[in-house]
Structures are given as C-alpha cells and as structure tokens.
Chain A
Amino acid sequence: MDESAGYYCDCFDIFWVLKFKKLGFKEFCFKKSLFLFHFGGASCNNCDIEILDCLTPRYDVERFGMQLVGSVRHADVLLVNGSINKKDKPRLLEIYNQAPKPIIVVAIGACGCTGGIFAEGNTFAGPVDKIIPVDAYIPGCPPKPEAILAGIVKLLSK
C-alpha cells in the first residue's frame, strides 16, 4: 500500500516538474547527459572503431556528457552498426526490449542504415529499421567521427 503511494508521488512529482518547465516527457528524459550503448552487429569493425574513436582525445564526446556504458539498461541511446544477420536478430530484439524506454536508436554506417554491401548476403536478416524503430541514420562507410558527433548533437537539439 505504502509502495504504491510512493510510486504515485514520484509520478506526480515528475509530471508536476514537466508542467512547470513546459517540457515533453521525452524531452525531459534526454535533457541531461546521454549514455550510449553500442551494439555491433555483423559489421566489418570499422564503424565500431570509429565509434570508439569518438571517445578518444581528438573527438572526445565526453565533452557533451556522453559516455559509453556497459549495459543497455543504463543507456539513453542505442547505437547499432553493421548489418544484422540471422543470429544477431533475436539478440538485437532482446537488447532493445531490455532497454529503458524512451530510447533513441541510431543506425550507424551504410550497413546499419540499409545493409550496405552485405544486403544481398544469404545470412542478412533485414536492416535495423525493419527490426526495431530507428530515430536517426548516420550514413557513410564508415561515417567519420565528425559525422557521428554531428548526428548525435543534432539529436540532442531535436
């Protein structure tokens, strides 16, 4: 009984704050630092490396409060790169289901957006947006770290 009351209070609080600050729920969730989780599908590793490159001194996304986290349960943004093959598909779905909602899904690279060069492969199981909803696409093979940064910063100001 007490627990449910507490729960109600929390919800009430959040909605009150939202109303006061004139924010939407989604806007409120993504207002502070974004935590990124990276899912590498059947990729060629270049996109993975460029994502990691974003964290190293030259690009340094931590300036924007972004950080790579170890579990999707802590993440606000799910970065998916690489084509998705039959073995990856159920795992991607599971990871998406585990993620706290709302979550921003970003498809990175030609493979993530459309399947790229691997789209005709016999193990290809559909581009990312056929499996889970995608909010942003960053094309390129691989996209430069600048492009990844620009994409995420654009999302921040959306």
Chain B
Amino acid sequence: MSKIIPIGPYHPLQEEPELFKLYCDGEVVKDIKWETGYNHRGIEKLSESKTFDQAFFLVERICGICSTSHPFAFANCMDEIAGVEIPDRAKYIRSIIGELERIHSHLLWVGLAGHFLGYNTVFMWAWKYREPVLDLFEMITGNRNSYAMFKIGGVRRDIENEKFPKIKEILNYVKKKTDLLTGAVMDDPVIHARTKGVGILTKEDIISYGAVGPTARASDVAIDVRRDDPYAAYPMVNWKVITAKGCDVFAKAEVRLLEMYESISIIEQCLDGMKKTKEGDIETKVKEVPAGWGTGHAEAPRGEVFHFVVTNGSSYPVRHKVRAPSYVNIATFKKSCVGQTITDATISLAAVDPCYCCTERMAYAYDCNTKDMILNGEEILKLSHRKTEEIRKQL
C-alpha cells in the first residue's frame, strides 16, 4: 500500500513554504514530489518598477536569512554594469557583513537540525549563541535582520574603527560557543548514529544535479564562488574552502560548523585590513547606470546566488533575473530521500537548507484509499525522536 505524506505547504523547510509529497511504501520513501508557489511575490516583476537604489531593499527581502547574499550579488552585478571599482574599505565591509550572515545562518541551521533529531538543547543553545551575532548586526547596521548596507559603488554605512574591539570581543565569544557546539555534535554517538550514512549524495549526484554550497562541499565538490570568481575582499584575505568526504548529513553539519571558524577568521582579517584604509571612504559615486547587462554572483550561506540585470540607461532595470541556491539544492531530494525511512527523510530534507521556521503543523499522512489521516507532523517528529531514544538506549 502506497501512502502519500505531504510536508507543508506552510512548513518553511526552505526559503519558501513549499509542499513536499513523500510517496511511501510502509516506512520507506519511494518517491518525492514538490510544489512551490505559496511564497510567490513576483519580485522579478516588482524590481522593474523600482529604481536601482530601491531595488536593494527589495532584493534584501527575497530571503530574510540570506538578506545580505541577494544584495551582494545584485551589487556585484550593478557594479559590473556601471563599471565601477569600489574602495577597499567598502570591500571589507561587504565581506564582513556577508561572513557575519554566514555565521548566524549556520548557527540557525545547527539548532534546527538538533530540533529534528530530538536534541532540543542543541536547538536552544545554538539560537542563544546566535543572538550576540544579531546584536553585532544591530550595532553595525541598525537592524537585526535586514541590514540595508549595500548600494551601487559601495556601502551605505561605515564601521567606525572604535567599534572593532567590541566586534572582536563578540567574535571571540561566538568562537568559544562554536567550540562547544562542535564538541556536542562531533562527539555525540547518538548524533553519529542518526546522521552518518543518511541522505547520501555522491559526488556524481552533486554534479549531475548541479547542487551548490555546503550541500556540494559535503560531498567533496570544492565549489565556492568566493574562491572561483573572487569578489569583495575575499582575494585579500587568507581562508580555505571547507570540504568533507562523508556525503551524508553528518558531513553537511561538519562543513557548516567548520565554515563558521573560517568566517570568524575572515572577519578578523578584514578588520585588520580596514585599519589600513581611511575611515569614511566607503563608496564610489555612481552618477548613472549605462545601458547594458551584467551578471553578479555571491556565495550565500547555502550556495551560489546569481543575479542578472538588463538596463537601458534609465534608472529602472528592464529585466532582473534571480537564481537562489535552494532552487537547485531542492532537486537533490530526489536522490537523498528516496530509499530512506520517513524518520530519516525529515533530517535529509533539513540537511540541505536550514530555514525550517516552524513545526510541521500541516504535515499529515493519509491513506490514499480511505483518505483517513494517519500521521500528522508532530507524530512524524515524535517517530524521529523515538528512534534517537532507541539508539541512545542501545549505546
């Protein structure tokens, strides 16, 4: 008997509320389908009615968690069209904001992954230690989530030199707490048992699906826009692309946790680099944007964000195309979830992308023939928690 388990639609596992249908035979997932559109806001069309300055606020609101990546890619794109070289200080500031975002996003993911496995302590910890990063954002940009820092030819606000010690202090705190989280995740036998060998995506799968970001890097595909097509301050600092060979959920966690250390080190180097530049020199004035087209990309916490803009010499874009990393990463579910049990499917789904904002409140399983409700989201989560309990007992 084949059952369909819908997850969603109001179940923001990814950036958008989406509907996933798991076709199950007993416990085993046989096929997966997804449906999008619940979160469609017509941003590409809206963007055509905004001036380039306004469009930054719009692209920031494509995704709240990646609210730097989209302006970052858009700014790279517009800089290319306008043909400007931005000052070094602006480059550093852009990188700092981008890396801070990566830290908060990865912490958020670690927490949510913990929640799925029944480790609510990890969830609460990770979210608690994410707060100082948001405080940092509030100090630098004035807002916790949507920062409004980017503009064509530079950034809107400077980070004054007197703020550096405070930033470093908070980064040290975050680093210590990351050690703690890494220890909690890496040394726990139950987490090993739950995540190792689950949601496997081989190198070939990644390449054939075109997956990007930590999803790809966890399968030993060293793809990172920051290195492959350097932008902002990344060529000016020392860092390395983190990869893992595990291909499973555990490897994805590993990549994300280790990336946080890289991000912290990048920010520290950027701060040191900024000391050598002049305070207040944060933008190259751009009078007008010529007709033409340009592309820009940036490495978001989840992979490559790509923007394409066509201009005609006016102050409005003629065409604006956006491609977010989750769009390609979602397709890998066909490989990572099929053949798994339902209990492992939840963590495999969550492994690709962390924006799991809420409980699975509208997920339920029903019998195709009788249309009776069999399992709802909470029960599926309970099943997952029970499996963890069992493993814990056996160890």
A residues at B contact (CB < 8 Å): 37-53, 56-58, 68-72, 82-83, 85, 87-88, 91, 117-118, 120-124, 141-142, 144
The winner among A49, A50, A118, A121 for most chain B CB atoms within 10 A is A49
Q: List 28 A-B contacts (CB under 8 A).
A: A42-B16, A42-B39, A43-B64, A44-B62, A44-B146, A46-B145, A48-B12, A48-B64, A49-B357, A50-B145, A51-B357, A52-B358, A53-B127, A56-B127, A68-B359, A70-B378, A71-B361, A87-B37, A87-B40, A91-B9, A91-B38, A117-B61, A118-B61, A122-B42, A123-B40, A124-B41, A142-B144, A144-B144
Known A57-B124, A117-B61; judge A45-B357 contact (CB<8 A).
yes
Known A50-B145, A70-B378; judge A43-B358 contact (CB<8 A).
no
- Interface size on B, as a range, is 35 or more
**Docked-complex contact B361 and A40, CB < 8 angstroms:** no
Expressed in whole angstroms, the Cα–Cα distance for A33 and B9 within the complex equals 28
Q: How far is the CB of B48 from chain A (nearest CB, A)?
A: 11
B361-379 interface (Cβ within 8 A of A)? 361, 376-378
**Docked-complex contact A48 and B358, CB < 8 angstroms:** yes
Residue B360 interfacial (CB < 8 Å): yes
The winner among B46, B49, B123, B360 for most chain A CB atoms within 10 A is B46
**Docked-complex contact A85 and B41, CB < 8 angstroms:** yes
Known A46-B146, A117-B58, A142-B146; judge A38-B358 contact (CB<8 A).
yes
- A contact residues around B131 at 8 Å (CB): 53, 56, 58
**Docked-complex contact A44 and B357, CB < 8 angstroms:** no
- A contact residues around B145 at 8 Å (CB): 46, 49-50, 142
**Docked-complex contact B358 and A142, CB < 8 angstroms:** no
Q: How far is the CB of B132 from chain A (nearest CB, A)?
A: 10
**Docked-complex contact A120 and B361, CB < 8 angstroms:** no
Known A39-B10, A56-B127, A91-B10; judge A49-B65 contact (CB<8 A).
yes
State which of A46, A53, A68, A124 has its C-beta within 8 Å of the C-beta of B358: A68
Least CB separation from B138: chain A residue: A144
State which of B9, B40, B46, B124 has its C-beta within 8 Å of the C-beta of A56: B124
- B contact residues around A45 at 8 Å (CB): 12, 15, 63-65, 355, 357
**Docked-complex contact A117 and B57, CB < 8 angstroms:** yes
Q: Mark B113-135, 1 if CB is under 8 A from A, else 0.
A: 00000000001100110010000
- B contact residues around A122 at 8 Å (CB): 42, 45
Expressed in whole angstroms, the Cα–Cα distance for A122 and B360 within the complex equals 29
Known A40-B10, A44-B67; judge A52-B357 contact (CB<8 A).
yes
Expressed in whole angstroms, the Cα–Cα distance for A54 and B129 within the complex equals 14
Expressed in whole angstroms, the Cα–Cα distance for A122 and B37 within the complex equals 13
**Docked-complex contact B41 and A40, CB < 8 angstroms:** no
Residue B100 interfacial (CB < 8 Å): no
Residue B17 interfacial (CB < 8 Å): yes
- B contact residues around A52 at 8 Å (CB): 127, 357-358
Q: Mark B23-61, 1 if CB is under 8 A from A, else 0.
A: 000000000000001111111011001000000011001
- B contact residues around A85 at 8 Å (CB): 38-41
Q: Mark B260-302, 1 if CB is under 8 A from A, else 0.
A: 0000000000000000000000000000000000000000000
